[in-house]
Every structure is written in structure tokens, then in C-alpha cells.
Chain A
């Protein structure tokens, strides 16, 4: 049951994109290179390419996310694929249909790819394991486990601004414990060979195994930001407060909010990133979010190019080998 899903085929071509785990540096760089070409498209009269003409892509979202779903949808459309949006709120799962039933039904509509977001860790893997041969699955966030396309768009943003990964010192700040984004980012940064990954968080928001992820742990924000090239702020989820992991938003901001003064600890040309949506005055001050070092809105644009790269690579080269 728990045999790992192969994310690439025998020729090393991408088939599923479920987790950064298992990919080599060259493979991640190939995704970034392809994204580089897709990022040029908005400058043209026709912003789309015919790569996935005739393919059907299904966005299977069991958890709300307007931004992620929209960028996946736009990415699919710019590749000339047809898109079905299947949201849990309006779907049959609310009527008791199982995940597998849902999958079979949509497969009967001849979908070539599922883009899956689910609150349960491992949901995308489950679907990849049970999907028909030749059908690709992209993980758009599963529980606390992984959000690999978000991590790749973050890597793309970093590469665009910093060029080479090797000399970089990157700090990830906030709720590491509950963040699938952080997990995927740490894996991607280490695979791409940055010199240091730091996580900065209160003890209650840090997983016990944090150090085994290959990071340096800090509990003091100013100390952790010293001389970093890239700062990645994580969104603080309000429900954490209800579970008494944190005293209050105000106090969190006092200790872990990124302010202009704290930003000065980092290198002068450091960039500030955030997967969005941001909580102004909770994890980040408005003056920083809207300031010259912020690349938060560029991340959104790059997200489209990176998702186009992943989708087209997963669906390219598949004709005639759906059974093998």
C-alpha cells in the first residue's frame, strides 16, 4: 500500500509532482528553466501556447484556495488545455461520495491530469496511486505535508533575483510546524544547494524534528535575520491562536513580525517573500510588504509560469505509452 509513487518515468520524465522529495538538483533546475521560457509569454500579443491543446485538466480542490486554484487554472488555459474546476463545497463529497468515487467519476470524463488540494496529508499520493495509467497528479497542497509548486515558484523567484543558489543564506520565519509550504521550501532549498537554511519560530510552532530537516533553528528573529539574502515569511493561521499555541496576534507581531527595523539586520539587498495571503500587522508590517525589498506580487506572477512548466512537463511525451 505504501510503496512510494514514482514521480518520474523510466526516462526520467516528470509524471506526477507530489513532493520535492526524490528529485535531483538538475531535475528541479529543469523545471525552473522551462518556467523561464513561460515567464516571457505575458509580453506577447497572444499570451498562450498550444502545448496542451486537447488535454483536460481537473482542479480537484477539497480545501478553499482562490489564489492557488486561479493560478493553476490560468496556467492550464495558457497551455491551451481545457479545465474543469471541481470544488468540494458544490460537489458530491458533501453527499458522502468517497475520494475514490470522486476520482473514478472524473476519470470517466477523460481528465488527463488532476490538480489536487486536500486537508489530509497524503491525499494527492492516494489519488496518484489509484489514478488510471497515463493520468498525472499534481499536489496543490496536502495537509501539513507538501506544497511543491509553491516551493518551486519561490525557488524561481529567488533565482530571478539572486542568480546562483550556492552562496545564499535563506531564513524561513513563522509557523513551521503547520506549514506544508515550509517543508517543501526547505527540501527544495537544500536540493538546490543553498549554503544555509534557517528557520525562525517560537518553540510552539516548530516541529520537534526540525533540525533533522537540515536547517539552523533560531527563536530570536533579529538574530536569525542577521546577514540573510532571502527572508520567507509564512502566513500565521488564526486557528493556531484558538488552540493556545500563541498568546495573541499583537504579541506575535511584537516578537516575530517583520518590521522595517528588523529587516535592516538582513543584507541590504535581501528580498522579502510571502506565499500569501498576508496578514498585515500580524507576521509582516505593511511598510515591509509594500516596500522596495518585497517581491510578494512577483511571486504570484511567477507562480503561473512555474505551474505551466510542471503541467506541461508532466503531460509531454505521454502519447502511445499510457499502458506502460
Chain B
């Protein structure tokens, strides 16, 4: 009987210094924040973070001094466009960066997921992105002879993905209307740790009705950890929305004093104390969907 259940700390124990770690989700949506906070509390260091569609996951790990190198296309809190910790880290050269276009990251992840060395694309040509990253071009071997960018594969040692439902075997459901590129991030990683809003039985996944919300098969998944409200303060619609009020508090925590205060209240605490500190299950469960 397959049983991939792990605790938060057990997942962190499976990670190691200097590894390349991928994070799913998108800016302020479905980020595996409970796992990110557990990493922030740990002794892990020198991570190469592959967070192409970055949000407070990047900022929190930057503020915690965990990032040696960041691979990304943007880092945003969406409603508050710039993450202050990401900005501070970047402006003080606290970590190296490899900056990619959103679609170029998609293509590099796809190459990694397909075990290819690269995939050809036009994305990035004519800009500073491939020049800075040392990427090479390739000429089409067919009659068109077009010069294309060879988007190099991204492979990760491990990836963290937040889902809505999972069983102990690693069958998962992402119920939100947009799965983003979590499937590619998962397939391009050697090990995949999934945090889930609810751990349920296989029957309760109701795959006959929900198959289209199943982003990848269980062989992709290494471990499953149940983390109710584990995406907070990012949203995990339809279960709960983005906590704009908390993001405002987070965005205002960029000075040494305010960061120490934020860290003490919201990072260096157990998941239950965190939930209490942000208003409890009832409040978070009732957070409305975002309005644009």
C-alpha cells in the first residue's frame, strides 16, 4: 500500500543545502506557503530557487536569507505590484538572478519535463534576456533557416506544489480555475512534495467527475503533506481567496524592525499558531475571491 504522507518538517528534512528547488503557483495564488514558512524556519541555505511566477514565496525566502540564486520571470504581490523583500534583495545583490520571460520559463520547464536539452522558441530573441543568461541560438535545419533561441532545459532537485485535495498515494486535484504551470514544474523536478488543503480518500477525490482537475499522475508525487489553509496569504480559490489585508502587513515588513516583528508573529510559529495569528480558520475560509 502506497503511503506518501509526510509532516511539514519531514519534507524540509528531505531537502538539502545548495539544492535547486522549484515552487508552483502564481504570484498571489496557490503558493505552498506553509512549506515555504517551514523552510524559512529551517537551517537550509544556498538554495537555487526556481520560482518563475514569483510572489511572497520569493520575498519570504529572500528575507530569510535562503536564496543563493533566483530563477524567475517576475515577482509580484499582484494588488501590491512589488514585493519589498524581493526588491531589497535584488537591489543589494543578496542573491544571483537568472531572469526569464514567462513563456521562456514555460518552454525551459517543458524541455526539462520532456528530458530534452532545449526547446526552440522565438521568445527572448532581440532582448537582453538570452544575452544575460548566456543562452544560445539554433538555426532551423529546414528550408526556412530561421534563427531561433534554444531555451535550455530547467531541471530541479525538488519542487513544492500546493493542491486542494490529495489522497495518501499522491493522487491530487487542483480545483482552481487555472492550474498555471504546476504540471511542468512537477515533471521537471526529481522529487515533488505536495501540500494539500485536505487529505481525503481516493474515492472522495471523485475522479469520475474531477479528472480534468488532476494535473499529473501519482508517480510524479514523492510526498504529500496536509496543510489546511497552507497557501495563505495567497489564495486557493475556490476554497478561499487572497488575504489582501495580510499581504499589506507583509508588504510593510521590509525594515529590520518590521521584519523581526513579522517573522516572530507569522514565520517562527507553528501552523496552528499561524492560523490563529491571521484570524483563524473561519476568517481565512471566508476570504472572498479577488476583484480586478
Partners in one complex: no
Task: Name A residues whose Cβ lies closer than 8 Å to a Cβ of B.
Answer: none
Task: Name B residues whose Cβ lies closer than 8 Å to a Cβ of A.
Answer: none
